[in-house]
Structure 1
Amino acid sequence: MPENNYPKLHNATWPGIVGKGSDSEPIIPFDTLLEKTAAAEVDGVKFDGVDIGLFDEHLGEYLNSEDGASRLADKVSGYNLEIGSLVANVWAGSALGSKESRDVFVEQVRKACVFGQKLREAGVRHGGVVRIDSAVSPEVWSADPTANTKQIAETFRIACDVAADFGEKLAAEGEICWGGMHSWKAMLDTLEAVDRPNMGFQADMSHTFLYLLGYNRPEDRILPADFQWSDRAALEEGLKTMTAKLRPWTFDFHVAQNDGTVHGTGSHDKTGRHCLATDPNGKLDITHDAGYWLRDENGVLTKAFRHICWDGCMFPNSVMGNQQTWNDILAALVKVRKAHGWYQA
């Protein structure tokens, strides 16, 4: 495919860590994920890049040395890949809680921005966002929704001001397991309260799918309580309603599949289950339904994202170790780009 085909196609590396570890399956090494990503190919098309989590388990040797960003750039570019969005390790702190915890949260955003700038200077990063969440549970948030949303928004504002100094955008990923982000309405309230031009939303097709069903906040469900999966028309109307609210805020986009259930492994709380692109139980028409995020209400391409990414968090290691998994994921992304992409001269 021509180099000027957009959006670029990225794979996420943090699924090698999320839901893994001493309380689950072993962490999958960063190098293994790069190898699987680089080896994937569908009709001559390959992945353009990776989105990465800034965690010591994968990148400690790079994050904690002066020349780390340069060495990481050399490694990733050696696989003919670029780097896009970064996940800040905000769980070292929290957007809600003590001043110390909130200060740590902001400091992790600052570190991500510094590292992201170095990757740009090294010529391996040409776009993307810094991904955050509230790092607090819906249960803690629900003790005082108004006050807690206000404090989360204040922490996010401080983080936005830090990010702005580096020319970075922050994107809060809408997952049902994060307080103040656990429903479409709670997420919208939080974004509006932050009120910063560089504060936006990261839409993951699997996680946001659970917004329709009101998991962890039934009063905000969009689909009726008696909804049947056979009613595709109602499902599409629900997707239209949700994306109309959140699309204008969306800075970053994950292509994914969901079977209508939640899932958690290791220490990770239950959230929207990421399914294989080929899962027969998947409820999304991936190619068609991605269009609700990639096109406006009139069907016009927004061209809001330089790249799109596949996030396969909490896939079993046996699945992630199979090269066919990556080929199937790439095939799904290629179909999305063919339906909703563009050529930029």
Structure 2
Amino acid sequence: MKKNNFPKLHNATWPGIVGKGDGSEPIIPLDTLLEKTAAAEVNGVKFDGIDLGLFDEHIRMDASEGEIKKLHDKVRDFGLQIGTLVAPVWPPSGGAAMGSEEERKRFVDVVRRACRFGEKLRKLGIRTTNIIRIDSASSVSAWAEHPVHSTKMIAQTFREACDVAAGFGEQLAAEGEICWGGMHSWKTMLDTLEQVDRPNIGFQADMAHTLLYLLGYNSPEDRILPADFQWKDREELSNALKQLTARLRPWTIDFHIAQNDGTVFGSGSHDKTGRHCLANDPNGKLDIGKDAGYWLRDDQGNLTKAFRHICWDGCMFPNEVMEKQDTWNNILAAMIQVRELHGWYENEDNFNQNIK
């Protein structure tokens, strides 16, 4: 039997930026992240690609065609492809999706610029998907002042952004993270997605963030696990994950493998959110291989094959940890396990033709 070669295994570049700077640790250069990703190897298996954050600290979103081609050549020379892009929708380049008219215009304009960048990478043949990640760029506390109106405004901005993205052949994935208003719980996330009502909007699940949906951080009334839940009760945790994924899986178009110890964390200017832990962290509450299956398989246990690639997200790890090659080898090993348990084999020629 041939070994599974799908979904493709990607690393993320934005952990070199998120939670860095602003009096915190220095930003990790893009070249360093590419080098560590390309060098990782477990029993002959390597990362297939990267998901790219369009942050000025790594690459200008308004890069010229020559600059984009240079990025293409650099990533290709490392033997990697590019998958999902992150649009920097936050101020100062963007603005709150539920903010003033000017802020919402900036938000949509950032999406437009990110879509332009993504379309060019697809035409160059190195980008393997047409998904761009967004969030509401709005605080939970501001959203909570007028919940109904706030969600209505976020949905309106997302609709406008979706219409722009459709013109470039792109889909938008709204990140399920507890620090963003209107998507800080599974229920508010569903409400937002349903109000957007566009065929090219979807959900991005990150295992570290969605675990906190179960606990009701920032939205206690929406918790799925009971207030007296004990982490040793694996059966109850599994049942809760089944409930959560049954609701959000139909919307999910992008998926992050991650670990969480059941707590929140923030660094730099980033608000507290799901704490990303190393794949082999002894305090991790998730069984990564098994729990990824709740997202990758339907309620009957059948593979959905909804994701052509999966990505590791490890934001706000200390630089000392991220600069160790063993860190990336251990992460890659966890990704490989997920693919062995929930992946499939496919002819590579078909895949390469699809991305062009």
TM range (shorter): over 0.9
- SS of aligned partner of 1:203: strand
- SS of aligned partner of 1:201: strand
- Separation in 2, partners of 1:186, 1:249: 14
One-letter amino acid matched to 2:87: A
* Aligned residues of 2:4 and 2:343 also touching (Cα < 8 A): no
* Aligned residues of 2:130 and 2:169 also touching (Cα < 8 A): no
Q: For residues 33-48 of structure 1, what are the structure 2 equivalents within 5 Å? A: 33-48=33-48
* Aligned residues of 1:128 and 1:252 also touching (Cα < 8 A): no
Instruction: Name the residue aligned to 2:16.
Output: 16
Instruction: Name the residue aligned to 1:74.
Output: 73
Choose which of 196, 199, 219 in structure 1 pairs with 2:198.
196
- Separation in 2, partners of 1:39, 1:344: 25
Q: Which range moves more in the overlay, 97-106 or 3-12? A: 3-12
One-letter amino acid matched to 1:325: T
* CA-to-aligned-CA distance 1:99-147 (integer Å, 9 cap, x gap): 1110010011011110001101111112141000000010000001101
* Aligned residues of 1:170 and 1:200 also touching (Cα < 8 A): yes
* Aligned residues of 2:224 and 2:240 also touching (Cα < 8 A): yes
One-letter amino acid matched to 1:231: D
Q: For residues 92-103 of structure 1, what are the structure 2 equivalents within 5 Å? A: 92-103=94-105
Residue 159 (structure 1) shift = 0.3
Q: For residues 99-138 of structure 1, what are the structure 2 equivalents within 5 Å? A: 99-138=101-140
- Separation in 2, partners of 1:71, 1:121: 14
- Separation in 2, partners of 1:234, 1:34: 39
- Separation in 2, partners of 1:66, 1:258: 39
* Aligned residues of 2:7 and 2:344 also touching (Cα < 8 A): yes
Residue 165 (structure 1) shift = 0.8
Instruction: Name the residue aligned to 1:6.
Output: 6
Q: For residues 76-91 of structure 1, what are the structure 2 equivalents within 5 Å? A: 76-91=75-90
- Residues 1:337 and 2:336 aligned together: no
* Aligned residues of 2:118 and 2:130 also touching (Cα < 8 A): no
* CA-to-aligned-CA distance 1:268-287 (integer Å, 9 cap, x gap): 00000000000000000000
Residue 3 (structure 1) shift = 9.8
- Separation in 1, partners of 2:4, 2:106: 39
- Separation in 2, partners of 1:138, 1:275: 24
* Aligned residues of 1:54 and 1:63 also touching (Cα < 8 A): no
- SS of aligned partner of 1:131: strand
Give the fraction of aligned pairs with identical amino acids, expressed as a percent. 71
* Aligned residues of 1:56 and 1:63 also touching (Cα < 8 A): no
- SS of aligned partner of 1:52: strand
Q: For residues 196-275 of structure 1, what are the structure 2 equivalents within 5 Å? A: 196-275=198-277
Q: Which range moves more in the overlay, 62-71 or 266-275? A: 62-71
Q: For residues 134-145 of structure 1, what are the structure 2 equivalents within 5 Å? A: 134-145=136-147
- Separation in 1, partners of 2:165, 2:23: 34
* Aligned residues of 1:128 and 1:307 also touching (Cα < 8 A): no
Residue 65 (structure 1) shift = 2.3
One-letter amino acid matched to 1:215: Y
- Separation in 2, partners of 1:313, 1:9: 17
- Separation in 2, partners of 1:284, 1:269: 23
* Aligned residues of 1:128 and 1:306 also touching (Cα < 8 A): no
- Residues 1:302 and 2:304 aligned together: yes
* Aligned residues of 1:36 and 1:323 also touching (Cα < 8 A): yes
Choose which of 321, 324, 327 in structure 2 pairs with 1:325.
327
* Aligned residues of 2:143 and 2:181 also touching (Cα < 8 A): yes
Residue 237 (structure 1) shift = 0.5
* Aligned residues of 1:87 and 1:130 also touching (Cα < 8 A): yes
* Aligned residues of 1:63 and 1:69 also touching (Cα < 8 A): no
Instruction: Name the residue aligned to 1:58.
Output: 58
Q: CA RMSD in A?
A: 1.3
One-letter amino acid matched to 2:24: S
Structure 1 segments, 4+ long, off by >3 Å, are 1-4
* Aligned residues of 1:212 and 1:238 also touching (Cα < 8 A): yes
One-letter amino acid matched to 2:245: T
What are structure 1's unaligned runs of at least 5 residues?
Answer: none
* CA-to-aligned-CA distance 1:173-224 (integer Å, 9 cap, x gap): 1000000000000000000000111100000000000000000000000000
- SS of aligned partner of 2:114: helix
Q: How many residues align?
A: 344
Choose which of 172, 179, 182 in structure 1 pairs with 2:181.
179
* Aligned residues of 2:178 and 2:184 also touching (Cα < 8 A): yes
What are structure 2's unaligned runs of at least 5 residues?
Answer: 348-356
Residue 2 (structure 1) shift = 7.6
- Separation in 1, partners of 2:122, 2:192: 30
